[in-house]
Amino acid sequence: MINIAILGFGTIGSGVAEVVEKNQAEIQKILGGETLHVKYILDIRDIPGAVKDIETIINDPDIKVVCETMGGKEPAYTYTHLALERGISVCSSNKELVDAHGVELSAIARSHHCSYLFEASVGGGIPLIRTIREACGHEKISKIAGILNGTCNYILTNMKDGKDFDSALKEAQEKGYAERNPAADVEGHDTARKIAILASLISGKKISYEQVDCEGITNVTAEDFVNADAYGMSIKLLGVYDAGADTVLVAPHLVPKDNALYNVNGVFNGVMLKGNMVNDLLFYGRGAGKLPTASAVVSDVIECIKNIGKNIDNGFADLEPGTINRAPEKNPEQKFRTLSW
């Protein structure tokens, strides 16, 4: 039996426990017959059986992997640091922490022969980071454009269908898609963190979300959708990394009907990537929500277990802080940029 711990038993953390329980047979099969068991849950709330101190977990030699599904910088940073220093791998859904401290934590993991993986931090359930890191590791990726925030896409899709912004946001919150502070969603910061993580992986230099030119969706109106529709377009919040121009941008874009991202609706995320050999790739899946995001965490847990005692190169440990160019100004006569692909 392989024991893990879950730090933070909110939407995603409780989803991890559910994935482990429901897909135990499948997990066992890829772990060569071993069962996976959630031995500890850490949460500040009074949850039956949960512990409140990290020491209990990191002092238990049975624990080789923990899932950090707390979100926010602290205490997630301190707990991750402590675990990695003990050689315990950490699988995180926490894009804020990956953006702020991912390089340092990855280097700690490497020097302690364990791993720091964060598949669930970008694109929810879409296996995007591992694909970029492994299947596309040999590609020269020139561009990536993605709908990376399920909440914003849910709101924009509903607005296109005539619903108002506030009730669409409320629905997204009720479904557990939104951030604790939904300003991070609607002002584009969540998308900025995600595209910054992808741009860092692809460019080989650390780009932080503060460097990203960022505009959210709060100025998008129902009338804008009517106008866009008249030109055969929709409006999507996109994170775009252009390797040639060396720019990273988050902004609402007009997306033409003949582009695949036009049909990415609701909570779904869609990411397009251009490699010099493979050419265009399209990734599509649920970018937020309990089980899809938890599934991505569990996929990291399995990778860590298969590599116990070794460090998995996550592409972050050697990144130096990098500069990027400002995105070109948009045409002042147009309210939105148009996706060019």
Interacting residue ranges for ligand HSE, rule: CB under 6 A: 124, 149-151, 177-179, 185, 190, 287-288
SS3 124: coil
Indicate if 194 belongs to the active site.
yes
Query: Closest approach of Cβ 257 to ligand HSE, in Å?
Result: 24
Give 244: exposed, middle or buried? Use CB within 10 Å, 0-12, 13-18, 19+. Answer: exposed
Residue nearest ligand HSE, Cβ-based: 151
CA distance 11 to 123: 16
Select which of 64, 95, 160, 194 is catalytic. 194
Q: Which is nearer to ligand HSE, 15 or 124 (CB)?
A: 124
Which residue lies nearer to ligand HSE by CB, 83 or 288?
Answer: 288
Q: Least distance (Å) from ligand HSE to the CB of residue 151? A: 3
Nearer to ligand HSE among residue 123 and residue 275 (C-beta): 123
Closer to ligand HSE by CB, 118 or 177: give it: 177
Nearest distance from C-beta of residue 122 to ligand HSE, angstroms: 8
* Least Cβ distance, residue 29 to ligand HSE (angstroms): 29
Shortest distance, CB of residue 155 to ligand HSE, whole angstroms? 9
CA 314, 54, 2, 29 torsion: positive or negative? negative
Helix, strand, coil share of the chain (percent; to 5): 40, 20, 40
Q: How many CB atoms lie within 10 A of CB 300?
A: 27
Beta carbon nearer to ligand HSE, 80 or 293: 293
Candidates 112, 105, 107; CA nearest to 91 is 105
CB atoms near residue 85 (< 10 Å): 14
CA distance linking residue 219 with residue 210, whole number of Å = 21
List the one residue out of 113, 66, 75 whose CA is nearest residue 97.
75
By annotation, the residues acting in catalysis are 194
